[in-house]
Amino acid sequence: METVFANIESFFAYIIGLGAAVMMPILFTILGCCIGIKFSKALKSGLLVGVGFIGLGVITGLLTQSLGPALSTVVETFGLSLNVFDMGWPAAASVAYNTTVGAFIIPVCLAVNLLLVFLGCTRTINIDLWNYWHFAFIGAVIFFLTDSILWGFFAAIICYVVTLVLADMTAKKFQSFYPNMEGISIPQPFCQGFTPFAICVGKLLDFIPGFDKLNIDAEGMKKKFGLFGEPLFLGIIIGFIIGMFSVTAQLAEWWSAPSFGGFVNLLPSPLKLGISMGAVMELIPRITGLFIEGLKPISEATRELITKKFGDKKEFYIGMSPALVIGHPTTLVVSLLLIPITLILAIFLPGNQFLPLASLAGMFYVFVMVLPYTKGNVVKSFIVGLIVIAAGLYFVTLMSENFTSAAQMVSAAHPDDPAVKVPEGFKAGALDFASSPIAFAIFACMKYLTTWVGAAVLTAITVALVVWNRIRINKK
């Protein structure tokens, strides 16, 4: 039996090791052939999705490589010190997948998904396998909190089921807001965790007299501010400002003995950072266009197949990565504005111990499910983002001890991998997925309500959501 489990673990470790850029094209090609698309067309769709992942990785890598050193210099210059180290989401994913929970997360969650589809409790079939690491992450945290692998899988499954229900609930809103997304839902718990905030905060803001006059979307910003409202130009300006903060020491020296030549010598680094940030803002929408181009044949064929088999009585959604839509102009603008503000919040919020640096490249994913409920309103989206990021910093701080235990275990097993190593004297953290309200709710129930009471509460809530979702599906 141990040999069988070891072989299964090795098989899924191999699949995970391929990465999303290789794994998703293979999956899409197989899926396309299964639903009746010609092999050549299915292969092209899969390859376009794979190229999209590669391109997105290159662009976010550019953001990290450009922004990271500048922010690190700012941290050193101003003597900022917080004891929760930002591992970034790639390292967090590596830690999650390399735990015992992570090794079996894909087959366990797929089995749960198929069971719920069979029972009519969900319409979403989640093929976004790479992002299953989110479920492994909370499973690993609970495993080290309770010292029980069973409770770890329990937490992962609870997170998975809740996410499927939220994906069903938000699918129509998502499809109506984003173009060319028919038949798609987003079963990624990091994104879905912010949906309730978007709904509640949006409704509260509507009660403020005159707030409706601030109904400005990204296109409205372009019309009102011209070039200054373009994500490209905003990226350049904010990148340049951050770059100038990174040369504060040199600027102080220049101030003591000002000269035109000395000032000019300070500019190359901030200018390069500004252009790099502008490039990220401009290129992300173009890269996400590849996802949509690759997805369209699969989406259309799936709808035709379901209509042919079930008529209009049945409707299923393909659960896909939020990377499809992070190029929306409002997402780009609000994410860009929040990057420096997040650093300020991290420094001044009392009790916070997490300083986000590497995680800032994942800021775009906060707004994927926020925008459909704020209707792309820049002001509303910004306020929602400000609230969830402020709360998320505390969530990361509170979960850091148990996440550190997972990271240290993985680091001991993989000593040659520097990405999963936590610096001496620090705890581990990451905005994605530790700042998610879903992750923290599960963690808080299991820790602060005691294990059995917390499990009972989570089970009751999850069962209620599943029953409600089934009733909702049957009514439609």
**pLDDT one-digit tens code per residue, 90-115:** 788 888 888 888 888 888 998 999 99
444 has a pLDDT exceeding 70: yes
Residue 431 lies in a domain: yes
H-only helix segments in 78-184: 88-97, 100-103, 105-118, 133-146, 149-177
Total tally of structural domains belonging to the chain: 1
Residue 209: the pLDDT is 83
Supply the range of the domain harboring residue 177. Answer: 12-475
Q: Six-digit token pair at 15?
A: 């699949």
Residue 187 lies in a domain: yes
Q: Nearest-CA neighbor of 402 among 44, 207, 185, 148?
A: 148
DSSP character for 354? Answer: B
Residue 3 lies in a domain: no
Q: Residues 6 or more apart from 310 whose CB is under 8 A from it? A: none
Which residues in 335-467 belong to E strands, given as ranges? 427-429
Residue 225: the pLDDT is 57
Residue 450: the pLDDT is 87
Residue 2 lies in a domain: no
Residue 43 lies in a domain: yes
Residue 23 to residue 313: CA distance in whole angstroms: 32
Q: Six-digit token pair at 377?
A: 């309103």
Residue 148 lies in a domain: yes
Range of lowest pLDDT (283-292, 387-396, 431-440, 444-453): 283-292
Q: Six-digit token pair at 338?
A: 């929040």
Calculated CA dihedral for residues 50, 53, 55, 56, nearest 10 degrees:
170
pTM of the model: 0.85
Q: Answer yes or no: are the C-beta atoms of 186 and 320 closer than 8 Å.
A: yes
Tell me: the pLDDT tens digits for 135-160?
A: 999 999 999 999 999 999 999 999 99
Handedness of CA 99, 104, 110, 112 (dihedral sign): negative
Handedness of CA 332, 334, 336, 342 (dihedral sign): negative
Q: Could you tell me which residue, 189 or 299, shows the higher pLDDT?
A: 189
Q: Residues 6 or more apart from 3 whose CB is under 8 A from it? A: none
Residue 6 lies in a domain: no
302 has a pLDDT exceeding 80: no
Q: Six-digit token pair at 206?
A: 């509507």
Q: What angle do CA 383, 189, 109 make, to 5 degrees?
A: 175
Tell me: the pLDDT tens digits for 37-82?
A: 888 888 888 888 888 878 877 887 777 777 777 777 777 766 666 7
Partners of 235 in beta bridges = none
Residue 389 lies in a domain: yes
Cis geometry, peptide bond prior to residue 104 (ω within 30 degrees of 0)? no
Tell me: the pLDDT tens digits for 464-473?
A: 999 999 999 9
Q: Six-digit token pair at 386?
A: 């400000």
Tell me: the pLDDT tens digits for 128-139?
A: 887 899 999 999
